Amino acid sequence: MIANFGYKDATGEFYIAINTDKCDGCGKCVPVCPSGVLEVRDNEFDPMADEEMAAVTEEQRKKLSFSCSECKAGGSDNLPCVLACPRGAIVHSW
Amino acid sequence: MAKEYWRWKEYNWKDENIDWKEATTISGGVDVGSVSSQAVILCDGELYAYASMRTGSNSPQSAVNVMNWCMDGTGLRLDDLHFTVGTGYGRVNVPFADKSITEIACHARGAHLMYGPTIRTLLDMGGQDCKAISVDERGKVTNFLMNDKCAAGTGRGMEVFADLLSLPIEEIGELSFQVEEEPEPVSSTCVIFAKSEATGLLRKGWAKNKVLAAYSSAMAHRVVALLERIDIQKDFAITGGIAKNVGVVRRIEEELGLTTLKTKYDSQIAGALGAALFGKVLCEKKRAKQAS
Amino acid sequence: MISVGIDVGAKNINIVVLRFGELIAKGMADSGFEARDNALRLLGEVLAECDLAKDDLDSITSTGSGRKDIDFANHSITDVTAATKGTITLHPEVRTIIDVGAEEGRGIRLDDNGKIVDFAVNEKCAAGSGAFVESMSRALELTIEDFGPLSLESDKEIPMNAQCAVFAESEVISLVHSSTEKKDIAKAITDAIAARVSSMVRKVGFQTEIAVIGGVAYNVGFIRSIQNYLEKDVLIPESPEYVSAFGAALLPGK
């Protein structure tokens, strides 16, 4: 499953997509984020399975364009969360 | 108090041919949305009753109210439900629920039953959000996105317009087609700015219906852009309050070149229905565990 | 040499008249739905105040989101250019400009020579603009004028969950119903808009001195909140809502 966390508003589209076929819930992406955007929790989108996945926290979900701006300043592609993931499960849409 | 043009009607329904006393598993689903709440009761997986009501300021009470109304005239009491799942924005506030499940999973599961297993793309347009979901042949979510940050593309945006134009929300879909030709869509995405744009159009002498048409197509356009992220497929359905607005639905269909799947069920109950379906499975799991 | 600057915003038109760079008259009116006609009428009124006629003018420069409507201007410049020229003429030490108008917000970063290095604009979403405060003050049944001072009476930090102005309105109403004090809600609202504006400013990077211009600069609550977020003091030029019109008047066409 691809879980797109984020939003689209009049200023643009801001999603962090987690691919649960790749993500094994290792949590390496969690501590590297300076804004605390990510956490590991139950895959609530498949209630019959018992797996954990990386996900955007409820608190950050609606303000990604602000929260991620530090890492993206200057148009940088070297995003700590993306680099930290050993399986390439994290993709930013903007 | 001023007339509220944006309110949807409340309703309940039950299948007189089913006797719940004969059911082995009675499962309930409650979808507490920001604007309206739905309850569904299944007897051994068969749809027995459902209801839809406005969500009040107190969401636990709204959950109880809508379930009570769903059971109205059936003789059922809350205690008779073997397993109940809460979903929707107020899902953690359903006092009688055995479990809460995210609305993304419940909508996918409910739509899978309502529209049949061929459904692959689901758009749910709720009061304060818009969800685009890809589903597999088992009703499992394979891709989704939700937008509840911005009012554009949600029922709330349409309500703002119904209020601005003083037109009942249940009529605006049809009214939006009563124009000589389709106008350019409203250019502002933001509902606040779209509203001032519309005020300008009205002062310019545009008829209300023409303004509605311009907003309905702007909304359709926005939603289609959301759908593109999840790779839209032909077997496609729209649920939620906006599914009842033909003005938006038909414009989405035209823009996509697709016809939405139809269902004999009420399109608003997808979330609650999915919750009740999960409730049935979870109830059976629980029993199997207790028996072993 | 008499030059005029006309700033046509979504909500207001501001006009400034300069004689050799010195302010001799200014005026403001609603943009309305016929911004061009309203601007022309306002120009007539402002000129009458200083005994001038349109023929006496050497140049008319328009700026703002509605600048293209001003067909009687002989020149038009962008908002960012006008805001920058106006601000650094008044305060040459400024390196960051925050411009928050009725329907837009801007962050502009300048180099040591006052040249524009980078800027960010939001004119698409009401959440980072004056329109946000306006619809919230309507929900709170407060005037815009009372809003800022009232928010200063509160030290509470009530988070606003809604980012969107439409959803925030419902949130404000439910806060009112749950008997939250108006001053605390007003503070929450100024914090919310300041959070958005400051993150836009962070995106372009900021350096002191920081100037806040545009009508929202009058909102003392917003100023306190933005100073908290940026952890820096900001300066507010005199008549902050006229700064862009002033900048436009300072950049006459040929």
Q: What is the CATH number of the domain that holds B57?
A: 3.30.420.40
CA C201 to chain centre: 15
The domain limits of chain C are 1-84+241-254, 92-236
ipTM of the prediction = 0.91
Residues 6+ apart with CB under 8 A from B232: B121, B256, B258
User: What is the CATH architecture assignment of C92-236?
Assistant: 2-Layer Sandwich (3.30)
B224 and B276 in a common domain: no
Spell out the CATH class of A2-92.
alpha beta
Which ranges constitute the DSSP H helices of chain B?
59-70, 103-115, 155-165, 172-175, 191-203, 208-228, 246-256, 270-291
Antiparallel, parallel or unpaired: β A12-19 and A38-42: unpaired
Taking the CA atoms of residue C176, residue C180, residue C181 and residue C183 in that order, the dihedral angle to the nearest 10 degrees is -80
Q: Does B25 map to a domain?
A: yes
Q: Which of B188, B189, B203 sits opposite C33 (nearest CB)?
A: B203
- Mean pLDDT, 10 residues at a time, chain C of 254 residues: 94 95 94 90 95 92 93 94 97 96 93 92 90 91 92 93 91 89 95 91 88 95 96 96 97 78
- Interval B143-147 mean pLDDT: 94
pLDDT given at position B214 = 97
The pLDDT value recorded for residue B117 is 96
Under the banding of pLDDT at 50, 70 and 90, the label for residue B1 is: very low
Same domain, B279 and B206: no
Taking alpha carbons only, the member of C51, C57, C52, C50 closest to residue C72 is: C57
Residues of chain A with pLDDT under 70: 74-75
The three-point CA angle C241-C243-C249 to 5° equals: 125
Tokens standing for residue B153: 């593309």
What pLDDT, on the 0 to 100 scale, is given for residue B6?
A: 59
Res. B4 pLDDT band, cuts 50 70 90 = low
Residues of B in contact with C124 (CB under 8 A): 188-190, 193
| Cis peptide leading into residue C209 (ω within 30°) | yes
DSSP summary character for residue B140: -
Contact call for C167 and B151, based on CB within 8 A: yes
Same domain, B86 and B121: no
Whether the predicted pLDDT of B62 surpasses 50 = yes
Give all chains having 3 or more CB-to-CB distances under 8 Å with chain B: A, C
Domain-wise residue ranges, chain A: 2-92
Pick from A47, A61, A62: CB nearest B101: A47
pLDDT at B80: 96
Six-digit token string for A31 = 């501590």
Tell whether B166 and B201 lie within a shared domain: yes
Separation CA B243–CA B175 (nearest Å): 16
CA contacts within 13 A on the Cβ side of B169: 20
- Taking 3-state DSSP, the helix, strand and coil percentages for chain A, each rounded to the nearest 5, stand at 20, 30, 50
Q: E strands of B3-111, at which residues?
A: 11-14, 26-32, 36-43, 46-54, 83-87, 99-100
Find the Cα–Cα–Cα–Cα dihedral C69, C72, C77, C80, rounded to 10°.
-50
What CA–CA distance (Å, rounded) separates B232 from B224? 9
Question: What is the pLDDT averaged over residues B26-41?
Answer: 94
Asked whether residue B238 is domain-assigned, the answer is yes
Please name the chains neighbouring C, where neighbouring means 3+ C-beta pairs under 8 angstroms: A, B
Residue B47 — φ and ψ, nearest 5°?
A: -65, 120
Closest to B29 in 3D by CA, of B136, B117, B103, B130:
B103
Report the pLDDT averaged over residues B207-217. Answer: 96
The CA dihedral of B181, B187, B192, B196, to the nearest 10 degrees, is -60
pLDDT at B179: 95
The Cα A82–Cα C103 span in angstroms is 35
What are the pLDDT digits (tens) for B235-287? 999 998 888 899 999 999 999 999 999 999 888 999 999 999 999 999 999 99
A66 interaction partners in chain C (CB closer than 8 Å): 195-196, 199
Tell whether the model's pLDDT for residue B127 goes beyond 70.
Answer: yes
DSSP reduced 3-state for B1: coil
User: Closest Cα of chain B to A26: distance in Å?
Assistant: 21
Looking at the fold, whether B64 and B180 belong to one and the same domain comes out as no
Is residue B65 pLDDT above 80, yes or no? yes
**Structural domain that includes position B207:** 117-260
Same domain, B183 and B100: no
Structure tokens at A16: 């962090």
Question: Which ranges constitute the DSSP H helices of chain C?
Answer: 35-49, 79-90, 130-140, 144-152, 165-177, 182-204, 220-230, 243-249
pLDDT tens by residue, C14-41? 999 999 999 999 999 999 888 999 999 9
Residue C190 tokens read as 């100024």
pLDDT tier at B149, thresholds 50, 70, 90: very high
pLDDT tens sequence across B155-169: 999 999 999 999 998
Average pLDDT over residues B51-68: 91
Per the domain annotation, does B69 fall within a domain? Answer: yes
Interface of C with B in 186-215 (CB under 8 A): none
Residue B103 has pLDDT above 50, yes or no: yes
Can you give the pLDDT at residue C85? Answer: 97
Burial annotation B77-100 (CB, 10 A radius, 16+ → b, else e):
eeeebbbbbbbbbbbebbeebbbb
Whether chain C has a CB inside 8 Å of the CB on A9: the answer is: yes
Residues B140 and B255 in one domain: yes
On chain A, the residues whose CB falls within 8 A of the CB of C161 are 62
Search chain B and give the residue with CA nearest C35: B200
Residue B134: predicted pLDDT? 97
Classified by CATH at the fold level, domain C1-84+241-254 comes out as Nucleotidyltransferase; domain 5 (3.30.420)
Give the strands of the sheet with A12-19, arranged side by side. A90-92, A12-19, A2-9, B141-147, B130-135, B121-125, B236-239
- Which pLDDT belongs to residue B131? 94
- When divided into structural domains, chain B yields a total of 2
Residue B74 clears pLDDT 80, i.e. is over it: yes
pLDDT of B141 over the 50 cut: yes
